[in-house]
């Protein structure tokens, strides 16, 4: 499996990352397949999980989210994001070879074979399954249910202008998982959180997709970046605006307190600033704005955690 060829980092990866400087050369192509040198992907997969966990903890009257569950969700996000990226690269190997930003990825550049990639994907998926089995039965079934969406996503860019919507269905699934882990069921709050997460994902991945719009047009890849074009800023106002409204609805449904809404207000300002400064023809800026959505995720999570602490101690000492 480790008979690989290290031809160097992927073009848009973080420079001088430990993946490229400290890992043995034979392992580097696998780490690149999993995007370990680009943690933004698992950040964005993890935040809906942690939001949902914190929201459920608040609703259950706990001071802080379950730390063990949070650790499991972190490990699961890294493993399943890596498996998803590997699967995506296997499916897209011919397209990636035609796009400037992606032709240096491990499969099109010859660092690993498709067979090696499939074995690595299976190992990561197995790690994700081990994590999933630590939860209650409802959560396990819910997690497995997401695999159909994950499997369909790489093909969507070939048949619809809205592949970002399908990505949102997959990447926001954690908004259901955290609540399910605490209560063993779902209710209105996590469903609203999930819907908001979908719109948030469409927004940030539209920004990301503007990096590749010229190459995408040449090879026939479809995206919301190409669909919205010069009206991207207006589309983001709708997408991000609806995201904030749906998140507020989720907080209300869960009985969240003022600090959760303060975090949401600060997060809304962050999203508004993305829209304000966006230049869809500046690929480097688009990448940085895309990555900044992890800050949005952190802001919301901190607000929910602080709200849980404040509510718990208010009731404990009142």
Low-confidence ranges of the chain (pLDDT < 50): none
Place of tokens 């993890």: 46
Digit-coded pLDDT (tens) for 135-190: 999 999 999 999 999 999 999 999 999 999 999 999 999 999 999 999 999 999 99
Q: What is the pTM of this model?
A: 0.93
Comparing CA positions, the residue from 311, 292, 304 lying closest to residue 263 is 304
Q: Give the pLDDT of residue 16.
A: 73
Comparing CA positions, the residue from 58, 116, 138, 1 lying closest to residue 304 is 58
CA 177 to chain centre: 14
**∠ CA 157-272-266 to the nearest 5 degrees?**
115
Q: Give the pLDDT of residue 205.
A: 98
């Amino acid at each position: 499996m480790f008979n690989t060829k290290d031809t160097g980092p992927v073009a848009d990866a973080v420079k001088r990352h430990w993946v490229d400087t400290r890992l043995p050369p034979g392992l580097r192509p696998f780490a690149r397949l999993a995007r370990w040198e680009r943690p933004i992907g698992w950040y964005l997969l993890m935040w809906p999980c942690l939001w949902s966990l914190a929201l459920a903890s608040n609703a259950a009257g706990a001071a802080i989210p379950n730390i063990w569950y949070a650790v499991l969700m972190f490990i699961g996000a890294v493993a399943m994001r890596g498996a998803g990226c590997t699967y995506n690269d296997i499916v897209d190997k011919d397209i990636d070879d035609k796009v400037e930003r992606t032709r240096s990825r491990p499969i099109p550049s010859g660092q690993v074979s498709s067979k090696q990639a499939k074995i690595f994907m299976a190992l990561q998926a197995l790690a994700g399954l081990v994590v999933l089995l630590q939860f209650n039965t409802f959560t396990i079934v819910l997690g497995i249910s997401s695999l159909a969406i994950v499997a369909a996503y790489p093909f969507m860019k070939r048949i619809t202008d809205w592949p970002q919507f399908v990505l949102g269905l997959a990447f926001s699934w954690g908004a259901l998982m955290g609540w399910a882990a605490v209560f063993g069921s779902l209710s209105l709050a996590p469903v609203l959180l999930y819907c908001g997460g979908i719109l948030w994902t469409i927004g940030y991945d539209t920004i990301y997709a503007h990096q590749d719009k010229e190459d995408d047009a040449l090879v026939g890849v479809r995206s919301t970046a190409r669909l919205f074009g010069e009206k991207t800023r207006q589309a983001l106002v709708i997408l991000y605006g609806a995201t904030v409204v749906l998140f507020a609805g989720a907080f209300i449904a869960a009985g969240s307190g003022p600090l959760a809404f303060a975090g949401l207000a600060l997060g809304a300002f962050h999203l508004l600033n993305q829209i304000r400064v966006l230049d869809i023809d500046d690929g480097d800026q688009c990448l940085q704005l895309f990555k900044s959505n992890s800050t949005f995720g952190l802001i919301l999570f901190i607000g929910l955690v602080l709200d849980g602490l404040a509510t718990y101690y208010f009731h404990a000492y009142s």
